[in-house]
Structure formats: C-alpha cells, structure tokens
Amino acid sequence: MSILEGQTAIVTGAARGIGAAIAKSLAAEGANVAVNDIREPTETVEAVRAMGRKSISLVGDVSDQAAVEAMVQRCKDELGPISILVSNAAFSDRELFYQANMDGFRKTIDVCMWGPYYLARAVANQMIAHKVQGNMVFVSSPHAYKPIPGATAYNMAKAALDQLAKTAAVELSEFRIRVNLVHPGWTDTPGERKFFYEDELQEHGSNLPWGRLAKPEDIAHGVVFLCDPRSDYITGATLSIDGGIVLPYQEMFRIRNRPKTT
C-alpha cells in the first residue's frame, strides 16, 4: 500500500513549479489532493486524477482569510478531513527597501506571511476537531536568515514563517500534529524567469556546489519524506534541500585557488 493511502492533502500555489510537483508526488504516494492557486490549476488537478486519486481545484488568494477558510471547508466537504497541509504559495518583488513600491511590498507580506498563518489556523482547527494526527509543511526559504538585498519583504515574511512553523509545532504537539519547514535552494521554476534570463539561470546553476539548480521534484521528495508516517518523530524541523547553496563554498574555492606558499 502507498504510504499516504487515503489521506487528504491541500497544497497551495500548486498550478505550476514546486507546488505542482508536491501535489503530484503526494498523489503518487496515495493522497487525494486539493490544489490551490490564484490561477486555475487544471493541469495539476488532471495529473492527480490520472493517478487514480481524487482532486479538486481551489482557486483563491491565500492572503484573503475568508477565502482560505472557505477553501479549507470545501476540501473537507469534498475530499474528507485534511491530514496534510503544504503551504507553498508565494509572491515576491525585487526592489531596494527604501525605493520599494508599497503595494508590492505589502502583497509579499500578505501572501508569504499572513497566507500561511490563515492556512495553519484553519487547518489546525479542523484537524483538532476531527482528531486528525496530521502534518503541516511550510515551504520557506534561506531568505529567512540570509539578508538577500532587493528582497526585504520576502526576507521578512520568510523569517516570520519560520517562527510561525516552529511555534505551531510546539503548540500542536499535544494533538500529535507535526509541523515542519522545507528550505528549497535555487530552484528551476517559471517564477525565477521573473527575475533572471534563461542563460543567467543556467550559468548560476552551474556555479552552485551541486552544479545545477534544484528541480521542483527535488523539493517535492523532501515534502513527501516529512509527511511519511515513518517520519513520526520529526516535528519543528527545517529540511534544507539546496544542493549546498548555503555552504561557505565561495570561501572554500577562494582558499583552494590561492597560490601555493613554501
């Protein structure tokens, strides 16, 4: 039997990229999946159904609390009580903080911080009410602790998200609801094309310690691992799936390339 057979998952930001890969990977392991995105996630829903799983489309903005609560309720009504939440939806603009357009700055905070909170709150209450010993996985980022210039709002939101997840892990432990974080490295997704040209992505990827950008499936594999019942003792953890991007590899290379001394 598949490891997630009979479970109900909701995955946000899953029309494409990392979210789509996560939804498909959960389905491949037996879960029925509610697929959320701001756009219609038809391709992902059809891929899940093609595996013989149930799937519904939940079009909506996670920064809208009422919309989130309605999506969570609809998921329960149509697929059963939620046992897996994967909060993946994100938004980001790249501007210097002192020049930032405040609409984009606030939208980044709303989607990346408030959205996960609304989801965690609604799903936790449902899990508690139905006595579901479930899993929550939040897709965060090394931006949570690396001050990447031009991404102040995103940095702030991801730092807050990490604290949300860790605090929720403590508060929900009495209900045997596990809460964990995933920190993807630089991943080859459509969203990266907002900031980089194709040749730039390939060049930067080749310069990483692992020699390539992550694939969405790399991140999805980690999420499935965290949701696996055999990972029962893992909560409040942060799983980095980054090909070594946070290692001090630039310093290592600099040392290696120094002239030899006698």
Instruction: State the catalytic residue, choosing from 117, 154, 197, 233.
Output: 154
Residue recorded with tokens 């093609």: 50
Strand partners, 187: 214
H or E segment at 3?
none
In Å, what is the CA distance from 240 to each residue of 27, 81, 113, 184, 185? 23, 29, 19, 6, 7
Q: Minimal CA–CA distance to 218: which of 236, 235, 248, 239? A: 239
- As given in the structure block, the two tokens for residue 187 are 């991943």
Can you tell me the distance from the alpha carbon of 234 to that of 262, in angstroms, rounded to the nearest whole number?
50
Residue given tokens 């002239």 in the structure block: 259
Going by their DSSP bridges, the two strands 238-241 and 135-139 should be labelled as unpaired
| Helical residues (DSSP H) of the chain, grouped into ranges | 17-28, 42-50, 65-79, 102-109, 115-129, 152-172, 198-206, 216-227, 249-256
To the query of whether residue 154 is one of the catalytic residues in this protein, the response is yes
Residues carrying an active site annotation: 154
